[in-house]
């Protein structure tokens, strides 16, 4: 990763922050954008923008981390709830991908990493809005992987289960909730940011140079084991 230009959207907390730290340690030049603007550049992916300022001319990697967790019974969701989740998870990614496309195409071997959720593959109650949005992310990634393959741009997705991040704080707010989450996963624990960040760094690296259009299920076995 040494001297590669990597753009991270949402690298100020949670999984994005650990990805940023790992890439920096490996010698990458990281361009971090977040809604707060703390530490680097400010960017609100939920709003329309004409372009992204201060991008490098050549982009070797792009990681889109913004997401939402909005869980409740289907009858309590409003259309606005669905629109908000779709806007942040899908349209925000589209805006960023379009802004970074020229820079990605100038790289000899670029990689894009997006994020989905285990709930797309197995079906979980109360997840109808986020599952709909993340399902669209997976479809977007596979289409772009096909379209951009001639440009040597790889596009992959990481689909985690519950991970200990600020976004999931309400789901892991008590010891009882933590224990219940541990028991839900075949490997006996919920995820840590380092688990997911390591997968993202792998997908960005040359070690994954023959991998594109894939959804990596990183979920403690939840999606495939019973």
Q: Write out pLDDT tens, residues 7-30.
A: 999 999 999 999 999 999 999 999
> Between the CA of residue 9 and those of 92, 95, 97, 197, what are the distances in Å?
10, 11, 11, 14
CA 152/CA 173 separation, integer angstroms: 43
How are beta strands 41-42 and 61-64 bridged, if at all?
unpaired
Query: Which residue segments constitute the domains of the chain, with CATH numbers given?
Result: 5-218 (3.40.50.720)
- pLDDT of 173 reads 86
Considering the entire predicted model, what is its pTM?
0.95
First-last CA distance in the chain: 37
- pLDDT of 12 reads 92
Q: Write out pLDDT tens, residues 159-177.
A: 999 999 988 888 998 999 9
Residue ranges in the chain modelled with pLDDT below 70: none
In what helix (H) or strand (E) does residue 218 lie, and over which residues does it extend? strand 215-218
Residue 170 CB coordination number (10 Å): 11
Query: Strand order in 61-64's β-sheet?
Result: 41-42, 29-34, 5-9, 61-64, 110-115, 153-160, 215-218
Q: Which of 27, 26, 31 is nearest to 7 (CA)?
A: 31
- pLDDT of 38 reads 76
Helical axes 128-148 vs 79-86, angle rounded to 10°: 30
Tokens standing for residue 120? 């797309």
Residue 102 CB coordination number (10 Å): 12
Cβ contact 14:193 at 8 Å: yes
- pLDDT of 36 reads 85
In what helix (H) or strand (E) does residue 29 lie, and over which residues does it extend? strand 29-34
**DSSP characters over 62-121:** EEE---------GGG--HHHHHHHHIIIIIHHHHHHHHHHHHHHTSSSEEEEEE--HHHH
User: 3-state DSSP call for residue 208?
Assistant: helix
């Amino acid at each position: 990763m040494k001297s590669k230009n990597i753009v991270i959207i949402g690298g100020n907390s949670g999984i994005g922050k650990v990805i940023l730290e790992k890439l920096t340690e490996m010698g990458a030049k990281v361009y971090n954008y977040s809604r707060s603007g703390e530490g680097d550049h400010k960017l609100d992916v939920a709003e329309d923008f004409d372009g992204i300022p201060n991008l490098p001319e050549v982009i070797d990697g792009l990681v889109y981390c913004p997401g939402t967790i909005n869980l409740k019974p289907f009858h309590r969701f409003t259309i606005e709830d669905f629109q908000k989740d779709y806007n942040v998870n899908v349209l925000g990614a589209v805006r960023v991908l379009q802004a970074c496309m020229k820079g990605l195409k100038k790289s000899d071997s670029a990689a894009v990493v997006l994020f989905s959720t285990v709930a797309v593959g197995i079906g979980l109650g109360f997840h109808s809005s986020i599952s709909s949005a993340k399902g669209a992310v997976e479809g977007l990634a596979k289409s772009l992987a096909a379209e951009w393959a001639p440009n040597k741009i790889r596009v992959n997705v990481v689909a985690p289960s519950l991970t200990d991040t600020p976004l999931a704080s309400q789901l892991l707010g008590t010891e009882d909730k933590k224990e219940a989450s541990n028991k839900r996963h075949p490997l006996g624990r919920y995820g840590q940011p380092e688990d997911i960040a390591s997968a993202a760094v792998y997908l960005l690296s040359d070690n994954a140079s023959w991998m594109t259009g894939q959804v990596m299920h990183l979920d403690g076995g939840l999606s495939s084991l019973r």
